[in-house]
Amino acid sequence: MTTPTCPYTAGAALDPADAAFAADPHPFYAALRDRAPATRVRLANGSDAWLVTGYDQVRGVLADARFSNVPPRGAGRPKPDSPGQQARALLARHMLNTDAPDHVRLRHLVTKTFTPRRVDALQPRIHELVARLLQEIPRDAEVDLVDAFAFPLPVLVIGEVLGVPPADRDALREWTYQVGSPAHTLPPGALDDAWSSLHEYFKSLIDNKRRSPGDDLFSSLVQGELDTDELLAMAFLLLFAGYETTMNLLASAVLLLLTHPEELAEPHWPHVVEETLRHASPLEGATWRRTVEEVELTGTRIPAGASVLGVLAAASRDPLRYPEPNAFRPQRWADERTPPSLAFGHGPHYCVGARLARLEAQIALPALFEAFPGLQLAVDPGQLPYRPGLLVRGPRVLPVRTR
């Protein structure tokens, strides 16, 4: 296999906002991986980062306590000089940004609540939400499936998990959308207002659950040992870890199926979902880690204090683990020797919502193709815009013709 030359190893800065890179970063990751499973790269913002691209090495980083999840103080964060930014800083103190022993305590409280049985009990509600969204999609029309389906469904499902009253879900959806958008695309002040609104909303949600708990998962957490600040950050993490990732999984699966129509003949949905997670990893990179001491990774020395990104999307296309890694082949999951993709991470921070995300996709995808058997892409797939950045990956819009 020939791999294109990678400009980023030749000293040029990697600009994650570059549209060509966002559209297809895989040739670059392949070139980095060919060179070494961990490579130091200069980013366009002037900082240095180590990108880890080999399957075994990414797995190793995610399970190794020498790579810390605690962000360096103040790094990459705007100064909390407005109520909106103060709310943002408070909501960021969640367990994905902690190491043991704090992390073990926080995570145990969540996994105690997020049992497989309770997650599976959401099944009938997910069917109802999917059916309602599909009814609202017009027939014989051009529709953006991200806007009409892939975005609202995960937000509505997290609304169920958090026990958000149905009347509040539109507001939650709107604030979620705004805090996930670059400030310059919103009216002045809107971003700060959205952060403050989310903060206020979660605060009153916690008060309500304390007074009258429901049978939702979040009510059980509120009854547990977490204090109010920890509950606020937890509500925020569940919302944010769960919505854009699942949105990307749904949108990428639809895109892959529409561009590989032979896979729609007799789809095995769990295999379609696994292969989408591998081929189009919804999180491109894990969250940033920082080395607490010098670490040697397959012959490469990473100094103490380095920023390290385990590139999940690259690991899940490592040819040492997956034959023909760039091909979309759901059947590969029929072979039980296929190693699990790293789409949900690995080790102590392994995704708490993996079961829920799989369940959601396995309900939503067949229902969509049953409702619209003649679904077609309305644009050239090569022209679809992708969200810039190294952390999440998926088409920003997905225009289709419904039939």
What sign for the dihedral angle of Cα 351, 352, 357, 358? positive
Instruction: Name the one range near ligand HEM by CB under 6 A: 74-82, 240-248, 325-333, 372-380.
Output: 240-248
CB atoms within 10 A of CB 83: 14
In the list 84, 152, 163, 345, the residue contacting ligand HEM (rule: CB under 6 A) is: 345
The pair of structure tokens assigned to 299 is 């012959």
In the list 191, 343, 375, 400, the residue contacting ligand HEM (rule: CB under 6 A) is: 343
Q: Report the nearest approach of ligand HEM to the CB of residue 111 (Å).
A: 9
CB atoms within 10 A of CB 372: 19
Q: Report the nearest approach of ligand HEM to the CB of residue 252 (Å).
A: 9
Instruction: Kindly state whether residue 356 participates in binding ligand HEM, applying the rule CB under 6 A.
Output: yes
Estimate the crossing angle of helix 190-211 against helix 169-179, to 10 degrees: 140
Q: Give me the 272-301 binding string for ligand HEM, x by CB under 6 A, dash otherwise.
A: ----------xx--xx--------------
Contacts to ligand HEM from residues 160-179, by CB under 6 A: 161
In the list 60, 159, 353, 394, the residue contacting ligand HEM (rule: CB under 6 A) is: 353
Residue with nearest beta carbon to ligand HEM: 353
Instruction: Name the one range near ligand HEM by CB under 6 A: 205-213, 291-299, 313-321, 351-359.
Output: 351-359
The pair of structure tokens assigned to 235 is 């509500």
What sign for the dihedral angle of Cα 358, 280, 385, 140? negative
DSSP summary character for residue 395: B
Nearer to ligand HEM, 58 or 143 (CB): 58
Nearer to ligand HEM, 84 or 345 (CB): 345
The pair of structure tokens assigned to 171 is 């507001």
CA 125 to chain centre: 22
Instruction: Name the one range near ligand HEM by CB under 6 A: 76-84, 222-230, 342-350, 366-374.
Output: 342-350
Contacts to ligand HEM from residues 299-318, by CB under 6 A: 312
Helices (H), 216-352: 217-222, 228-259, 269-279, 312-315
Instruction: Name the one range near ligand HEM by CB under 6 A: 258-266, 328-336, 347-355, 365-373.
Output: 347-355
CA 376/CA 372 separation, integer angstroms? 9
Residue in 381, 373, 374 with CA at minimum distance from that of residue 399: 381
Per DSSP (E only), the strands in 95-144 are 142-144
Q: Is 310 helix (H, G, I), strand (E, B) or coil?
A: strand
Pairing status of strand 289-291 against strand 67-68 = antiparallel
Residue in 316, 297, 362, 345 with CA at minimum distance from that of residue 40: 297
In the list 242, 325, 330, 395, the residue contacting ligand HEM (rule: CB under 6 A) is: 242
The pair of structure tokens assigned to 29 is 């990751």
In the list 129, 162, 352, 365, the residue contacting ligand HEM (rule: CB under 6 A) is: 352
Instruction: Kindly state whether residue 155 participates in binding ligand HEM, applying the rule CB under 6 A.
Output: no
Q: Give me the 65-104 binding string for ligand HEM, x by CB under 6 A, dash otherwise.
A: ------------------------------xx--------
CB atoms within 10 A of CB 333: 19
Query: How many Cα atoms are found within 13 Å in the side-chain-facing hemisphere of 276?
Result: 32
Instruction: Kindly state whether residue 395 participates in binding ligand HEM, applying the rule CB under 6 A.
Output: no
In the list 357, 364, 384, 398, the residue contacting ligand HEM (rule: CB under 6 A) is: 357
Instruction: Name the one range near ligand HEM by CB under 6 A: 140-148, 182-190, 235-243, 363-371.
Output: 235-243
- Which positions lie near ligand HEM, rule CB under 6 A? 62, 95-96, 107, 161, 237-238, 241-242, 245-246, 249, 282-283, 286-287, 312, 343-345, 349, 351-353, 356-357
